Structure 1
Amino acid sequence: MSAESGEQVERDVLRAHAEDAFADELAALAAADERPRPPRWKLSPWAVATYLLGGTLPDGTVISPKYIGPRRIVEVAVTTLATDRALLLLGVPGTAKTWVAEHLAAAVCGNSTLLVQGTAGTPEEAIRYGWNYAQLLAHGPSRAAMVAGPVMRAMSRGLLARVEELTRVPADVQDSLITILSEKTLPVPELNDEVRAVRGFNLIATANDRDRGVNELSSALRRRFNTVVLPLPATADAEVEIVSRRVAQLGSGLELPPVAGAEAELRRVVTVFRELRAGLTEDGRTRLKTPSGPLSTAEAISVVTGGLALAAHFGDGVLRSADVAAGILGAVVKDPAADTLVWREYLETAVRPRADWQDFYRACRDADPA
């Protein structure tokens, strides 16, 4: 494949890796970064934090924020990766755990792809290694017959590995990380050998604190991690900014036609999600029932993006309440038996009395199939 055709493929991918999508920013930071860098890091801890939080470099280059939240959280996460402790990002769904983990890996080692996706069916081989059975049967156990997993590849190259949804992984598979994180080695008993971690290796795991009790981490494994809790956005303005930025990025990547009037409906979506999460209206006057789902910021981004697509392709090019109503209904009503009542009560007690929300109220009533 020629360099030109390779660049075309990269432009055509639906979602570029962080190190590719923000290559210009990473290059600018590397050029301006004169601070000490840990072994094999592409940037210093200061530059990694600047990449996550945003800022302006001395040459005028603007670094866009990837995470909007307390600076200290990012600083603790970055410095953890410069020690011998692994990093566990913990939080409710939609608090940008995966997003932060990906961008940390991109900034630290320039490779965010060494990923283990945790599920109830994740086998130990996904974390350790597997075998090429044709080679194994033909020649017996050997390094040539081994199929290295992402963690093993990260160890041998001094890079960061990522494990998503660690608490979804079966407990016995989780514990295969203990020796890797404590001894920095991965035993290979079939070869009477081991893989030793190269300086620069570390691991970032994410976990959903609503999954407590699914596959609780053992105390031995938890001690190997420094846990950083990512909170929900503290204010409505912060959440609006997060949703606005991500929607703009997604819209650009999907090449959605431009849509006007998005700001007002976006703020309404965020307000609805925050009020139902808190069980209290924005003015603090009315108590509300909360739905069964978490109503995360990620879901708000999805609702607004879907609304933009509707407005662009089937509307008049202006984002209106009718474009987001069905998406909100789908996000709120996860359990039809319980959440439908919560949603209808919210419409009547919180939305209907607002004079400037009548179009939103009617659109949501029309979207309800009852």
Structure 2
Amino acid sequence: MTATAAAPEEDGTAPAGGGTASGQDASRPVRQIVPPEDLHATELAFLAAHDSGPRPPGWRLTPRSVVTFVMGSHGAALTLPDDARAAAGTPRRLVIDGKFVGDRALVERCVVTLAGERALLLVGEPGTAKSMLSELLAAAVCGTSGLVVQGTAGTTEDQLKYGWNYAQLLAGGPSPAALVPSPVLTAMSRGAIGRVEEVTRCLPEVQDALVSLLSERRIAVPELAGGPDGLAHATPGFNLIATANLRDRGVSEMSAALKRRFNFETVGAIGDLDAETALVRRQARAALERSGAAFQVDDAVLEALVTAFRDLREGRSAEGWEVERPSTVMSTAEAVAVAGALGLAAAYFPGDRDVLELLPGHLLGVVRKDDPADAARLRGYWDGPVRRRAEEGAATWRALWDLRTVLEG
């Protein structure tokens, strides 16, 4: 798929999103996932020129502009001041696209935390966009979301601090040239935002390395002791964003000492049906466009999909009927995956069957991930809200009720 430049509107207002149609430079290799600092480069350049207010040390945007970047300008076109000094090619007017669907107050608290010297920990159920929010915040604050360590049981202390180029180490001994900085150490030296994904999946001894790092804002390099490079200090602007999955809280529980170094913010599920449906549609369409296919899932099917996810997630239907919750997390991210699968089926097997017929099977696949017994809970949902909506005459739900036999396999 060829990237084409998105032309400004006739009144001089650039389109929402502020970039190319694919978010990529046509001269660069096509990427499946484009980091936010590249995808929204025009927005970031515009906001840097738009707001000349006070900025914390090392920040590229003001705190207010960081919030605007994440939450959007709600359809309003912002205009650069007459005296603004903008990068070449930056439009004079721009609508900032909303990227995170959630509470603005939450985002504001996150930004205030990062402006200080306490680290930020985003916690929540799987699929609530914790990682996406951390990427957006990092991109807006320092211009890169790529200084990240993925927490796993195999993550080592070296990955949080530094390692060595062993060829150079053996050839010339310990030296700054032989040292390989971790993403966190790189963030410290640049005055940037470092990120640690799934911090509670790291072993306790690895987590403990963060305690002194966040307290003292420096990393000792004993091999270079006695020289100026034996102690790496954080420069102004450095901070850390970590994420933690509530389902994995017991994997490697954080120590009280480490918890005190973070401000905790909980990222919850999307509260509004229309907002969640719009997000699922947007994300699924974007995924199909990256595959070169058009998104052709009917709005009624998409709404039924999101409604089912919400009912099963919350244990209560929109009408107030009780629903037995499955043990698996019915997250928005999973809903996007199912919507994408339906879209791919419509694109690559056109006319074979109505995509609505595929929905029960995909839901069954989702709920059985953690516990096969959850299939019975999904059948209970069909016998409850799905049947009652069918009896009330809703055509989509009537069709879904008629597909109940799919769940008996």
Could you say what secondary structure the match of 2:250 adopts? coil
Q: How does 1:260-275 map to 2 (within 5 A)?
A: 261=298, 263-275=299-311
Residues 310-367 of structure 1: CA distance to partner in whole angstroms, max 9, x if unpaired?
A: 111112399731243332221112245311111112112221232221222334533x
Could you say what secondary structure the match of 1:58 adopts? strand
Match of 1:292 among 315, 319, 327: 327
Question: TM-score normalised to the size of structure 1?
Answer: 0.93
Match of 1:352 among 373, 387, 390: 387
Partner of 1:3: none
**RCO greater where, 1 or 2, for CA within 8 Å and sep 6 or more?**
1
Match of 1:12 among 23, 26, 30: 30
Please identify which structure carries the higher helix content: 1
Residues 31-76 of structure 1: CA distance to partner in whole angstroms, max 9, x if unpaired?
A: 2122111122111000000010010343341111111111110000
Cα gap change, 1:273/1:111 in structure 2, threshold over 3 Å: closer, same or farther? Answer: same
Cα gap change, 1:330/1:27 in structure 2, threshold over 3 Å: closer, same or farther? Answer: same
Q: How does 1:93-172 map to 2 (within 5 A)?
A: 93-172=126-205
**Structure 2 stretches of 5 or more lacking a match?**
1-23, 80-92
CA distance in 2, matches of 1:255, 1:57: 30
Match of 2:211 among 178, 197, 215: 178
Q: Which is further off, 25-34 or 45-54?
A: 25-34
Partner of 1:39: 57
Partner of 2:240: 203
Partner of 1:80: 113
Match of 2:289 among 252, 265, 268: 252
Cα gap change, 1:316/1:243 in structure 2, threshold over 3 Å: closer, same or farther? Answer: same
Matched, 1:278 2:314: yes
Q: CA RMSD in A?
A: 1.9
**Structure 1 stretches of 5 or more lacking a match?**
1-5
Kept in 1, the 8 Å contact 2:293–2:344? The answer is yes
Offset of residue 255 of structure 1: 2.7
CA distance in 2, matches of 1:326, 1:341: 13
Kept in 1, the 8 Å contact 2:379–2:404? The answer is no
Q: Which amino acid aligns with 2:363?
A: I
Q: Which amino acid aligns with 2:219?
A: L
Kept in 2, the 8 Å contact 1:259–1:317? The answer is no
CA distance in 2, matches of 1:20, 1:122: 28
Kept in 1, the 8 Å contact 2:328–2:371? The answer is no
Partner of 2:257: 220
Offset of residue 281 of structure 1: 2.0
Kept in 2, the 8 Å contact 1:114–1:154? The answer is yes
CA distance in 2, matches of 1:184, 1:365: 60
Number of aligned residue pairs: 362
CA distance in 2, matches of 1:24, 1:251: 24
Residues 64-95 of structure 1: CA distance to partner in whole angstroms, max 9, x if unpaired?
A: 11111111100000111110111101111111
Cα gap change, 1:98/1:364 in structure 2, threshold over 3 Å: closer, same or farther? Answer: farther
Offset of residue 247 of structure 1: 2.1
Partner of 1:329: 364
CA distance in 2, matches of 1:258, 1:117: 32
Could you say what secondary structure the match of 2:163 adopts? strand
Match of 2:348 among 301, 307, 313: 313
Kept in 2, the 8 Å contact 1:258–1:317? The answer is no
Kept in 1, the 8 Å contact 2:58–2:142? The answer is yes
